[in-house]
Amino acid sequence: MSAVLTVARLDCFYGEVQVLHGLDLELRKGEVLCLLGRNGAGKTTTLKAIMGLVRAQAGSIRLGERELTQLPAHEVPRAGVAYVPQGRRLFAELTVAENIEIGLMARGKGVSTREAVLDLFPVLRERLKQRSGTLSGGEQQMLAMARALCIEPEVLLLDEPTEGLMPSIIARIRETVGRLRGLGVSTILVEQRVDAVLPVADRVAFIENGRNRETVDVARLREDPALIRRYVGVG
């Protein structure tokens, strides 16, 4: 399968502290690639670097043939990369409809995109005028995903979307990720919980100390749980 997003030898810093050390990653078309690793391994920083929210000091991030590292952060979503941040980061004072409107603005999408996204999350249709900060945790996560999908992305970055949610909502999110894969959307999923990853991912990249130690198919991971113990410490 062809690579839709390629990260090569990426170095990123927070002030003086180097967080990513020559990180390599390849996301193939239509796959779900999961980043697993302990706290502070550099998973969230990798996503932020792809979005241009943390500047790359060295290395490259290519979306197809297009180099993203030179783009200002606001151009990255316009290129077709959508981001669902950790903790959702909704505009809590804005209504559900306004949050969706912000998503639509990024690539100038219109009513048909909005309707398609609301069909994926019908509960949001009933809450359009509600302030997003007053939604339940599960509804907030659905809105965060809906807002990102309004971009009609080629690449979707999900940072711990199941954190703190009920099993029924987690199942719903997994189902949506699976459906997006069917539509050809490539997804990078950051998770702490291995059980949340295995049912939905195609491959898993183990991130440790800002490096991609190993990328394996999920089938191999099921056969060799020692890998999970080695990089994540559970299994």
Partner 1 sequence: MAFGPHLLLATLEGLVTAAVLALTALGLSLVFGVMRIVNVAHGEFFMLGAVLAWAITTVVSGNPAIGFALALVLSPLIVGAIAWVAERLVLRRIEYNPEATIVATIGLLYIIQQLALTFYGPEARPVTPPFNIRIQLPWFGYSGYKLSIIAASALLLLATWFVLTRTRIGLVMRATQYDRETAQAFGIPVGRVYGAVFALGAMLAAIAAVLIVPIQQAHYLMGLDPLLLSFIVVIIGGLGSLRGTVVAALLIGVSDGIISVFFSPTLAKIIATLVVAMVLVFRPQGLFGTAAK
Which positions lie near partner 1, rule CB under 8 A? Answer: 51-53, 72-78, 83, 85, 89, 91-94, 98, 101-103, 105-107, 147, 151
- 129 close to 93: Cβ distance less than 8 angstroms: no
* Residue closer to partner 1 (CB basis): 13 or 91: 91
* Residue closer to partner 1 (CB basis): 118 or 221: 118
Rg (CA), the chain: 17
Q: How many secondary structure helices (H) and strands (E) does the chain include?
A: 10, 10
* Residue closer to partner 1 (CB basis): 83 or 206: 83
Q: How far is the CB of 230 from partner 1 (least distance, A)?
A: 33
Q: How far is the CB of 220 from partner 1 (least distance, A)?
A: 33
Nearest to 56 by CA among 65, 68, 66: 68
Nearest to 201 by CA among 169, 168, 165, 158: 158
* Residue closer to partner 1 (CB basis): 27 or 54: 54
Rounded to 5 degrees, φ, ψ at 58 are -155, 160
Distance CA 85, CA 234 (A): 25
- 63 close to 8: Cβ distance less than 8 angstroms: no
* Residue closer to partner 1 (CB basis): 57 or 214: 57
Put the strands of the sheet holding 66-67 in their side by side order: 17-28, 3-14, 56-63, 66-67
Q: How far is the CB of 39 from partner 1 (least distance, A)?
A: 20
Q: How far is the CB of 55 from partner 1 (least distance, A)?
A: 12
Q: How far is the CB of 94 from partner 1 (least distance, A)?
A: 6
3-state SS, residue 27: strand
* Residue closer to partner 1 (CB basis): 51 or 221: 51
* Residue closer to partner 1 (CB basis): 53 or 116: 53
Q: How far is the CB of 99 from partner 1 (least distance, A)?
A: 9
Q: How far is the CB of 104 from partner 1 (least distance, A)?
A: 9
Residues in the chain: 235
3-state SS, residue 216: strand
Nearest to 206 by CA among 24, 22, 8: 24
